[in-house]
Structure 1
């Protein structure tokens, strides 16, 4: 049974310590600040995407070179995730989140002006480190706040990340369309993020778990399984981002100009599902929502692979987005309820394992597609997705 007491699973002395660290602490204020933090993270990440074509032109690089340059972003994020958890455990989420955000902001102008592969890769490495730190610390903070609130709110936090991504990419694209240079555009984004950071600062908790947390911890027990499930969910999400357009073009009578309709449908369904997720979890419980969501996502893969017509494939993308929307938030909540590892380290481990799915997923799908076909690659993804409903009992535990 899931305990809904506001202090669970904190011990009384831990809660007193938390309040002592934050004299202005109130749960509603912390919830609002956490939502803004997720919005900042989503907006900041999405700012880079519209700048990629301009970077490619400045570098006069081919696709292979750009791929290697952009890999630096993922490496920086992946390396910073476990380290940021240790820092948050020692010094508190408020300090680490703000520092990570400021690091990210300092590198934004470099993404708009650096014109060699080495310098841009170096900038992306540091930028990715900031994004990775923001992502992990925001989730750690969300786990703590959800515990204190005593009700499901994790899906709503992740919905704000998705909304931030839509706003970020839309804002940057719009400003560039209206003639602003990439440098001026990112300067506007920087001012916006700084303003939001000032608003959210006072509501972020500064609770620390330990002053002697190790800088490297090997995941163990249930945390490994939760991380593996997160890995599968992120591979499915990454497959939508990188391959949905190509799959549509190959199996429907549409041109490349409309190839993005599949991912757009997926993203909208995921955002809608996360906005409704907390209410669904409160009404039906985490286990039931996780089980049904994983079955919906798996069925969506089957519909897409079937590829009867364009409408059916669009419906499949919607089902995948709706199904995946609450799986990762529930897994992060589960990381906060397990007792095998400290919460901060468990969240970091799950984030790192899951994020590696985004990095490795596109290459994994591409390799299978090269050897056989893209449809077969998605069939393999569908088979992997069955691990989600099969392991759903862990959420009940």
Structure 2
């Protein structure tokens, strides 16, 4: 089966590993900064659930466009070159959210934010798989753990500034400047762009069917399901805790930190689970545990039950998306960079589709029913776990 071409020393791989970890950390922190202050933004602009869903629709449209752009740029120039340009730009777009003075402004600014976010997402996952294959051992779950660590940090800072009544401009601008500087310095040691830049070859299948063999289609569907569930929790956790369980805004922000913390813990152990049991059983058990945990929390309906359910949900789905990405890099007949970009595109399409879908369901039936949607999707994903089995 095809593998990514990596011509690097062990020291180069170690340096690239730390660089890609930093990239995941920064993206998590930037996105959590937006998520943790979503209730405040909602209140300051006077939005209801439908209004917030419209803003999430702008996020979704920007994400879809960015995924296509990220796929093209990563395949054309390689993930290193893409990250060197897009990661600092993503950090700067956080400050663009400060331009939102109404629903239209918020929708436009999150559109730009999502475009660049998606470009970074495709490139950093492609680079993470390249580093994993260069090292010869499971690493991608641990790499994704750095994204969760960034989410924890960003959400904790969000909770602190919320409690201290820090203005949104000071918060967002400060995080944006620090993340931009870190991105410029931190992406210098990534593997060469030639590692995963697509080179035309008669041995590589072409056409839609050639780029999407059956196993890759299933892996894309699995990535879509678990990413939809994660995206839904990311964007609606704080709002659910405050509006449905009547938690304070501080507890709502801390609840998101708990979800991100459980994601981080699960991803820390994910690589060890794969080494011991293979990818299928951890994926199956994780998705089922996530569905049962969040489902039970929604049925009980109080703040404590919701927090416990979110923790179980985060831990269960934590390593499922990295497993789908890693498996896509081993699909035969498709160049690994293209396979990873394809599955990343479908997966992150789910990531940004979930919040919009839940917003409109919540508008008609309530947010508790809306959050039952990710429960359904992770249970559906469990049925396709066999596609991750090594061939």
Pairs aligned (count): 380
Rounded Cα–Cα distance in structure 2 between residues aligned with 1:169 and 1:226: 30
Cα distance, 1:200–1:261 mapped onto 2, change above 3 Å? closer
Match of 2:347 in 1: 354
Normalised TM-score (structure 1): 0.80
**What is the CA deviation profile of residues 248-273 of structure 1, one whole-angstrom value per residue up to 9, with x for unaligned ones?**
67986x54554556544332211111
Larger deviation: 236-245 or 328-337?
Answer: 236-245
Give the drift of 1:209. 3.2
Q: Is the 8 A contact 2:63 2:118 kept in 1?
A: yes
Cα distance, 1:338–1:251 mapped onto 2, change above 3 Å? same
Q: Is the 8 A contact 2:88 2:179 kept in 1?
A: no
Q: Is the 8 A contact 1:34 1:138 kept in 2?
A: yes
Match of 1:210 in 2: 198
Match of 2:33 in 1: 47
Q: What is the root-mean-square deviation of aligned Cα atoms in Å?
A: 3.6
Match of 1:293 in 2: 286
What is the DSSP-based 3-state SS (H/G/I as helix, E as strand, rest coil) of the residue aligned with 1:386? helix
Rounded Cα–Cα distance in structure 2 between residues aligned with 1:341 and 1:186: 42
Rounded Cα–Cα distance in structure 2 between residues aligned with 1:105 and 1:348: 22
Cα distance, 1:212–1:114 mapped onto 2, change above 3 Å? farther
Match of 2:387 in 1: 394
Normalised TM-score (structure 2): 0.81
Rounded Cα–Cα distance in structure 2 between residues aligned with 1:185 and 1:279: 36
Larger deviation: 234-243 or 140-149?
Answer: 234-243
Q: Is the 8 A contact 2:2 2:332 kept in 1?
A: no
Alignment of 1:126-165 (within 5 A): 126-165=112-151
Larger deviation: 60-69 or 292-301?
Answer: 60-69
Q: 1:224 aligns with which of 217, 221, 227?
A: 217
**What is the CA deviation profile of residues 310-342 of structure 1, one whole-angstrom value per residue up to 9, with x for unaligned ones?**
655543332211111111111111111112533
**What is the CA deviation profile of residues 85-117 of structure 1, one whole-angstrom value per residue up to 9, with x for unaligned ones?**
222222121111111123324433332245465
Rounded Cα–Cα distance in structure 2 between residues aligned with 1:169 and 1:299: 25
Alignment of 1:1-397 (within 5 A): 10=3, 15=5, 18-19=6-7, 26-49=12-35, 52=38, 60=45, 62-63=47-48, 64-65=50-51, 67-113=53-99, 115=101, 118=104, 121-171=107-157, 174=160, 177=164, 182=169, 185-187=172-174, 189-206=176-193, 207-211=195-199, 219-244=212-237, 255-257=247-249, 258-259=251-252, 263-307=256-300, 312-368=305-361, 381-397=374-390
Give the drift of 1:278. 1.3
Rounded Cα–Cα distance in structure 1 between residues aligned with 2:160 and 2:308: 29
Q: Is the 8 A contact 1:33 1:204 kept in 2?
A: no
Q: Is the 8 A contact 2:28 2:149 kept in 1?
A: yes
Cα distance, 1:188–1:290 mapped onto 2, change above 3 Å? closer
Query: Highest CA radius of gyration, 1 or 2?
Result: 1
Rounded Cα–Cα distance in structure 2 between residues aligned with 1:56 and 1:308: 23
Cα distance, 1:154–1:124 mapped onto 2, change above 3 Å? same
Show structure 1 runs of 5+ residues with no match.
Answer: 1-7
Q: Is the 8 A contact 1:38 1:160 kept in 2?
A: yes
Rounded Cα–Cα distance in structure 2 between residues aligned with 1:346 and 1:74: 22
Cα distance, 1:220–1:78 mapped onto 2, change above 3 Å? farther
What is the DSSP-based 3-state SS (H/G/I as helix, E as strand, rest coil) of the residue aligned with 2:329? helix
Cα distance, 1:240–1:114 mapped onto 2, change above 3 Å? closer
Rounded Cα–Cα distance in structure 1 between residues aligned with 2:78 and 2:369: 46
